[in-house]
Every structure is written in structure tokens, then in C-alpha cells.
């Protein structure tokens, strides 16, 4: 597993001017260099979660290789929405696996350097603590034009349970502003370490791509549409179209909910009373129209299935029919 770290990534110390912490982003966001995401593709979901949770802790403190970052079983269970009874065992297994994992890069001298993802792990009864090497601290702390990065909400990423789902989500977040990402079949297999699995593309699509796309679209802030790229009759790649979901305001949600109410449940008198209560008769009554005529006009609209017109009119003035009027 190799990570192509830029020449500026030297052996970093606290006094190295290159190693400048980036504190622009809030603690509910995970931010990491793209090279890190591209290097950890063989990790399990739980292993990746450790770095996702550690991201803001590293970013917002003056960490060194001696700094220990602790994750309790209770916090891990709550953050990942898993059972407390199994949280510690999952966390311990992830820590055990990380002990043997490493990545490589070429330094400024042209030499290949191999680095373990963690350099110290301390196991206690209720939590596990980690120390990270300078290179990992750098990839979790320095973000600029020479060190491309991706950021995402921690809560959103931790909703994903599939290893392929989490990896694909992070890769697509890198291209969110572009709106799509294309990968050749070979690039996809190498990225997800599937060069020796699912040799038939239909199996790759059914067992890996479609479940990942479905989970991402269902649980995250991205809606993904997947298609195959052809050269003649041969499939040569995959295209992922990326659409950012727009978060609706509570007012808009309330309006839409009211607009879908059955018209027969809304009475003209309820609309009239809402208008009267908010001193808006002058805005809705026609010239020389009596109250009775006004109510009859509302009633006619309701009979014509135009209840949502009145709901929208009222919503424009922040007036809502909170309960179904029977």
C-alpha cells in the first residue's frame, strides 16, 4: 500500500515551519488529505473510523508523536450507533489490525520510506489510546494547494456500515463540486483492492458498486447515480454522478406536510379563524366582502381541492395550521 506524499512532507517535528496546523474547520467535521484516503483502502470500517474520530482532535491541538488520543468504548458505541456490548471488541480488533499496517512514500531525497499508521497503542479496560506518527499527523492537520484534502461531517460518514460504501463516499466527496467522477475498471479494482475478486463485471456491480451507491444515497448528504462506460460492447469504466442533497428548513418541511393533508380535513372556518387571529383580514378579504362571503369563498376553494393554496398563502406570513382541523 503506497501513498504518494509530496516532497514537502519531510520527517515533521513541532518546530518544522512546514507543519502548520489548520483550525478552519469545526470539530464535527473530519478533514484529511486525499492521499490518506487513497492509501487506506484495505482497512476495515472500524479501522477507518478511528482516524475519522481522531481527525478533529489532531487538527485542533498541538499534537506530536507522543500525544495519545483516546477513544472509549462508550463514545465509540454512541458515535457509530453500535451496541455497547460489542464496541470495545470492535475497537480492540481494529487497533490490533492497525499495529501491522503501514504505508510508503518517497521523501525529498528520493528514498522510499515505510511508516506504520500507529506507533503506540495503549489498552485499558474501557478505552484504547493511540499515538500517530508525524506523517499521519501531517495528513490530518495540513490542508492547502499542495496537500489536497476532503472534508465531511463525522456523523454522516459514521452512518455507513459497508467498507466499500465508506471508501466510495470519501472518493466521491472529493469530486462533489465537479458533479461526477469516472474510474476505469482497472482503477476501480486497484482503488478497492479487488484485482483478484469479482473478475466478472456484473458480479462487481451487484456485490460492490450497487450496494455502496444505495447505502450512500440513503444515509448521506450525497445522491449518487451510477452508470457503466462502454467502448463498443466492452465495459471500460464506471461513472458516478454526484448530487448534493439540499437540507430543507423546518418551515419548508412543515409547509410540505400541510400541503399533503387531505383537503376534506380542512374547514373554511379554521382558515378564517387563523386569519382573524393573526389580524390579516385586510390582506385576504376582497373589497366590500362580508365575513360570511369570505368564508363561503374559502369553502368553495376547499371543495375545488384548492386547500393547499390557502396553506401556502398563510405560510407566506408564517401562519400554520398546526393540527388537522376536523
- Joined grid coordinates for residue 238: 464506471
- Residue 323 covered by a domain: no
Residue pair 55/32 in contact (Cβ under 8 Å)? The answer is: yes
Residue pair 266/258 in contact (Cβ under 8 Å)? The answer is: no
**Mean of pLDDT values over 191-198:** 89
Task: Express each pLDDT in 15-44 by its tens digit.
Answer: 344 455 566 788 999 999 999 998 888 899
Helix (H/G/I), strand (E/B), else coil: 71? strand
109 and 231 together in one domain: no
Is the pLDDT score of 254 beyond 70?
no
- Joined grid coordinates for residue 301: 376553494
**Mean of pLDDT values over 256-263:** 52
Distance of CA 33 to the CA centre of its chain: 16
182 and 192 together in one domain: yes
- The reported pLDDT for the residue numbered 15 is 37
pLDDT greater at residue 322 or residue 14: 322
User: Rounded CA gap, 37 and 112, in Å?
Assistant: 20
**Mean of pLDDT values over 255-269:** 59
- Residue 322 covered by a domain: no
pLDDT greater at residue 320 or residue 122: 122
119 and 190 together in one domain: no
Is the pLDDT score of 5 beyond 70?
no
Is the pLDDT score of 278 beyond 90?
no
150 and 37 together in one domain: yes
- Residue 324 covered by a domain: no
- What CATH number is associated with residue 128? 1.10.10.10
128 and 152 together in one domain: yes
pLDDT band at 163 (very low <50, low <70, confident <90, very high): confident
- Of 113, 137, 158, the domain-final residue: 158
Helix (H/G/I), strand (E/B), else coil: 3? coil
Owning domain of residue 25: 1-158
Task: Express each pLDDT in 207-243 by its tens digit.
Answer: 999 999 999 999 999 999 999 999 999 999 999 999 9
- The reported pLDDT for the residue numbered 316 is 72
| Whole-number average pLDDT of the chain | 84
Question: Distance between terminal CA atoms of the chain?
Answer: 66
168 and 182 together in one domain: yes
Number of other CB atoms surrounding residue 186 within 10 Å: 11
Pairing of strands 234-244, 112-116: unpaired
Q: How many domains does the chain have?
A: 3
**Mean of pLDDT values over 172-181:** 94
224 and 109 together in one domain: no
- The reported pLDDT for the residue numbered 45 is 94
- Of 158, 188, 213, the domain-final residue: 158
Is the pLDDT score of 14 beyond 50?
no
Helix (H/G/I), strand (E/B), else coil: 66? coil
pLDDT band at 295 (very low <50, low <70, confident <90, very high): confident
Percent of the chain's residues with pLDDT above 70: 85
- The reported pLDDT for the residue numbered 99 is 92
- The reported pLDDT for the residue numbered 256 is 58
pLDDT band at 265 (very low <50, low <70, confident <90, very high): low
210 and 299 together in one domain: no
Amino acid at each position: 500500500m503506497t501513498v504518494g506524499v509530496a516532497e514537502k512532507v519531510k520527517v515533521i517535528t513541532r518546530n518544522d515551519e512546514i507543519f502548520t496546523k489548520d483550525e478552519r474547520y469545526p470539530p464535527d467535521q473530519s478533514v484529511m488529505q486525499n492521499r490518506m484516503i487513497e492509501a487506506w483502502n484495505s482497512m476495515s470500517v472500524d479501522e477507518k473510523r478511528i482516524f475519522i474520530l481522531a481527525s478533529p482532535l489532531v487538527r485542533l491541538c498541538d499534537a506530536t508523536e507522543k500525544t495519545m488520543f483516546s477513544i472509549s468504548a462508550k463514545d465509540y458505541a454512541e458515535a457509530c450507533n453500535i451496541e455497547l456490548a460489542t464496541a470495545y471488541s470492535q475497537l480492540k480488533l481494529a487497533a490490533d489490525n492497525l499495529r501491522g499496517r503501514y504505508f510508503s512514500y518517497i521523501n525529498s531525497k528520493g528514498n522510499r520510506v515505510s511508516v506504520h499508521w500507529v506507533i503506540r497503542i495503549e489498552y485499558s479496560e474501557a478505552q484504547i489510546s493511540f499515538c500517530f506518527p508525524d506523517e499521519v499527523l501531517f495528513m490530518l492537520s495540513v490542508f492547502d494547494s499542495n496537500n489536497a484534502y476532503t472534508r465531511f461531517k463525522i456523523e454522516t460518514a459514521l452512518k455507513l456500515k459497508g467498507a466499500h460504501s465508506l471508501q466510495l463516499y470519501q472518493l466521491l466527496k472529493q469530486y462533489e463540486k465537479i458533479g461526477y467522477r469516472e474510474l476505469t475498471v482497472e482503477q476501480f479494482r486497484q482503488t478497492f483492492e479487488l484485482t483478484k475478486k469479482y473478475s466478472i463485471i456484473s458480479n462487481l456491480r451487484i456485490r460492490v458498486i450497487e450496494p455502496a451507491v444505495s447505502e450512500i444515497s440513503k444515509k448521506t448528504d450525497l445522491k449518487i447515480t451510477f452508470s457503466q462506460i462502454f467502448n463498443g460492447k466492452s465495459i471500460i469504466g464506471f461513472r458516478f454522478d454526484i448530487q448534493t442533497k439540499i437540507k430543507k428548513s423546518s418551515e419548508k418541511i412543515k409547509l410540505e406536510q400541510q400541503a399533503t393533508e387531505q383537503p376534506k380535513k380542512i374547514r373554511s372556518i379554521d382558515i378564517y379563524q387563523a386569519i382573524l387571529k393573526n389580524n390579516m383580514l385586510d390582506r385576504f378579504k376582497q373589497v366590500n366582502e362580508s365575513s360570511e362571503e369570505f368564508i363561503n369563498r374559502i369553502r368553495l376553494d376547499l371543495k375545488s381541492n384548492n386547500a393547499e393554496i390557502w396553506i401556502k398563502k398563510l405560510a407566506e406570513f408564517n401562519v400554520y395550521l398546526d393540527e388537522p382541523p376536523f
